[in-house]
Amino acid sequence: MERGRIALSAREVDPVRPDPTRPQESTGPVEFLGIAAPSDASETSARTTSGPLDLAYLERLVRAHADHGWTRVLFAYGSSGADPAALAAYVAARVPDVELLLAHRPNVSAPTYAAKTFATLDQVSGGRLSVHFITGGNDHEQRREGDTLTKDERYDRTGEYIRVVKQAWASETPFDHHGTHYDLEDFVLDVKPFGGRTPTISFGGSSDAAYRVGAAEADVFAVWGEPRARTREQIERVHAEATAAGRATPPRIHAAFRPIVAPTEALAWEKAHRVLDRIEARKAALGGALSRRHPIDAPENAGSQRLLQIAAEGDRHDEVLWTATARATGGAGNSNALVGTPEQVAQALLAYYDLGVRVISARGYDLLDDAVDFGRYVIPLVREGVAERDAAAARVA
């Protein structure tokens, strides 16, 4: 690593393009998830791209991930944002060497329509699609699109929705479905996912209902970055719920963090406090709220409540986990940071790998440059550490 050069601009990068014939879905022991955003706005800065939907920026951001070792990128969902399925189709046609994770809320369409959308996107992308189901933890945000169910009712609906989608992908003959939320007759899907595969389904949440539904239905269960002891508890809960649901193999675990990385520990913490100052300044400029989707005070969802509880116990946990960013944003989504040198952040991520985390989500506050830096300096160290662990385990076996 070139000491002192971690804050490179993406304009300086001239990478070798990866082979577009790479496997259609990652099968490696550790995967890295970034963000596919159509603008450069973040908690620390207003948008500088040309409008909320800048396709050139979107493509550039996704290419930066593809060129720097990331496995896949997430197309997020919000009631006021662009349609993530359309953005995923746009990227699929232009960036052939990265996987696509499409966020989807079950309240916005029938499961039959969703199943054909997902299957079509999987065909368009050559088998690179995964789907992340969002049940919704904010009643106000859900009501913006006409969803008036309670949280537990929403989770029950999501479980039924996923089962219908899976059946639509798998069934070669028409089927009926008579459930609590959906009543279908004689449905069959002509367009199946690419190559006879079943796209990976991921799911997140921290409530009892979330653990129950996600552990029963998902291939990947997503949690937000917490201290390792608490992450271990969540993993144990997911595994217990999977066993209760009759699953022989539990979902893989996905943990999400905000990396703040610099060449030295001192520089990393200076950068972290600048990030925090910028969050507070932006929050003040916006009248105290950073997002329509998430309140700063008294969040309804269990995950954000957990993050704020952890932040109240102290700003620093384990070696490099920093909760001040979560406190400043009201525990809004992925908001706990890992602060340190590339080596320190990589070692922290390897400790989560040792707990059982197999998918690592990392999103910086400067979306483009941080994706390049994390991919260039942190991902190789984590992959190297994972390979060493796997080789040692193989020798013992």
pLDDT in tens, 128-187: 999 999 998 677 778 887 787 888 999 999 999 999 999 999 999 999 999 999 999 999
Range(s) of the domain holding residue 261: 24-396
Which has the minimum average pLDDT: 46-50, 225-229, 293-297?
A: 293-297
Per-residue pLDDT at 35 = 98
Per-residue pLDDT at 14 = 35
Mean pLDDT of the chain: 90
Tell me, yes or no, whether 152 lies in a domain: yes
User: pLDDT at residue 273 above 80?
Assistant: yes
Taking the CA atoms of the chain, what radius of gyration do you get in angstroms?
Answer: 20
Tell me, yes or no, whether 306 lies in a domain: yes
Per-residue pLDDT at 3 = 34
Bigger pLDDT: 130 vs 299: 130
Q: Give every CB contact of residue 369 below 8 A, 6+ residues apart in sequence.
A: 7, 8, 9, 10
Mean pLDDT of 201-212: 95
CATH number at residue 345: 3.20.20.30
SS3 state at 219: coil
Nearest one of 265, 155, 221 to 358, comparing CA atoms: 221
Per-residue pLDDT at 301 = 81
Which has the minimum average pLDDT: 18-27, 273-282, 327-336, 347-356?
A: 18-27
CA 253 to centroid of chain Cα atoms = 11
Per-residue pLDDT at 298 = 66
User: pLDDT at residue 375 above 60?
Assistant: yes
Per-residue pLDDT at 195 = 96
Question: Which pLDDT band, with edges at 50, 70 and 90, does 294 fall under?
Answer: low
Q: Are the C-beta atoms of 320 and 348 separated by less than 8 Å?
A: yes
Predicted TM-score (pTM) of this structure? 0.90
Instruction: Please name the residue that has the structure tokens 């089927």.
Output: 175
For CA atoms 105, 107, 111, 117, the dihedral sign is: negative
Which has the minimum average pLDDT: 70-79, 300-309, 338-347, 350-359?
A: 300-309
Start-to-end C-alpha separation, the chain: 34
Per-residue pLDDT at 12 = 38
Tell me, yes or no, whether 17 lies in a domain: no
Tell me the C-alpha to C-alpha distance, in Å, between residue 63 and each of 1, 34, 106, 110, 368.
22, 11, 29, 32, 10
DSSP string, 246-313: T-SSPPEEEEEEEEEE-SSHHHHHHHHHHHHHHHHHHHHHTTS-S-SSS-SSS-SSHHHHHHHHHHHT
User: pLDDT at residue 13 above 90?
Assistant: no
pLDDT in tens, 96-130: 999 999 999 999 999 999 999 999 999 999 999 99
What's the longest Cα–Cα distance across the chain?
64
Nearest one of 158, 196, 197, 201 to 179, comparing CA atoms: 158
> Considering its fold, how many domains does the chain have in total?
1
Per-residue pLDDT at 147 = 80
User: pLDDT at residue 25 above 50?
Assistant: no
Tell me, yes or no, whether 205 lies in a domain: yes
SS3 state at 223: strand
